[in-house]
Copies of this chain bind each other. A is one copy, B any other.
Amino acid sequence: MTSEFEFIDRMKSRYGLSRIGDDCAVLPKDHLTDTVITADMLVEDIDFRLDWATPEQIGHKALAVSLSDIAAMGGDPKWAMLSIGVSEKLWKTDFLDRFYSGWHALATEFGVKLIGGDVSRTPGHLVIDSVAGGEVAKGRAIPRSGAKAGDLMYVSGELGGAAAGLKLLEQGVADAELIEKQLHVYPQVILGKQLLQLGLLSAMIDLSDGLSSDLMHVCRASAVGAILYTRSIPVDTKIGSHFAAADAFDMALNGGEDFQLLFTTTGPVEMDGVTLIGYITDETGQVYLEEDDGTRTRVVPGGFRHF
């Protein structure tokens, strides 16, 4: 079956859509500034479950995933639109009031204004399309496509916590901290802007599908490969209380929704909360895990995909 990534590539080449395929589209604003803009669709029972998350948490996450895309360009979020399709049954409850309350709390934190959207009825599942726009200094947005052989590769935060939280929700196991990582995504907007200021970044992406998949997006867009140091991948230390080390590593490598930033640089970065995890090679689309003894294993992207 065609994957969603293959489908998007086919549409890009058929219709000459050169602007498609980054975390955000970049549009010229004025002579100092570009606009960055992103859309994310969230569907009930695919991207979230009403019995696992409060309406406020779903509202928070709907905006957080879009702000994370803006962070991945080094952008400063400014405004958002929200389209929501809701069943008549849910419409009659306080769901939307609480949803907007969660949405608005995060928007206020980042100074984001709701400027529009749509309300529609659905025959069944709740569906949300979150659109956010931001600004970045002209020509300075960090694309996925700028990584070059020899560049260093870093990731922010710890990985796998959101995937572990999801697993615990599925298993009905309570662990407030890990479940919080799944439900209360924090977009790395401040870090993204700090990284842009360094002037060293060649490529950046947010980790939504999972490290192995998102790194492959960077490699394909940049026509490069990568070496990941197995020992350097910052596996979330809290996962170890519930899962074996091998499972924890798999969650960090392939689990989605950590919404940390993966970036490549032309020189070393000294900053709290970011970890050097490897480097870029010229072998297009080839990603390997490298052990301390130099042994290499090919990585097959194992992150989330819809199709």
Q: Give the contacting residue for A30; candidates B8, B30, B41, B47; CB below 8 A.
A: B30
Q: Do A43 and B85 contact each other (CB < 8 Å), given the known contacts A116-B25, A116-B37, A127-B127?
A: yes
User: Contacting chain B: which of A118-126, A184-192, A259-267?
Assistant: A118-126
CA distance A119 to B6 in the complex (A): 12
Q: Do A114 and B79 contact each other (CB < 8 Å), given the known contacts A1-B92, A306-B121?
A: no
- Asked whether, in the complex, the Cβ of B84 is within 8 Å of the Cβ of A123, the reply is no
Q: Contact string, A26-48, partner B, CB cutoff 8 A, digits 1/0?
A: 01011100010111111111110
Copy count, this protein chain = 2
- Contacting B at CB under 8 A, from A79-102, are 79, 81, 83-85, 88, 91-92, 96, 100
Contacts of A298 in B (CB 8 A): none
Contacts beyond the supplied A30-B31, A41-B84, A120-B306: 12 A-B pairs with Cβ under 8 Å: A2-B91, A15-B114, A19-B115, A20-B114, A27-B115, A37-B116, A39-B81, A39-B117, A122-B125, A123-B124, A124-B125, A129-B131
Closest 5 CB pairs of A and B: A129-B129, A25-B115, A30-B30, A121-B306, A41-B120
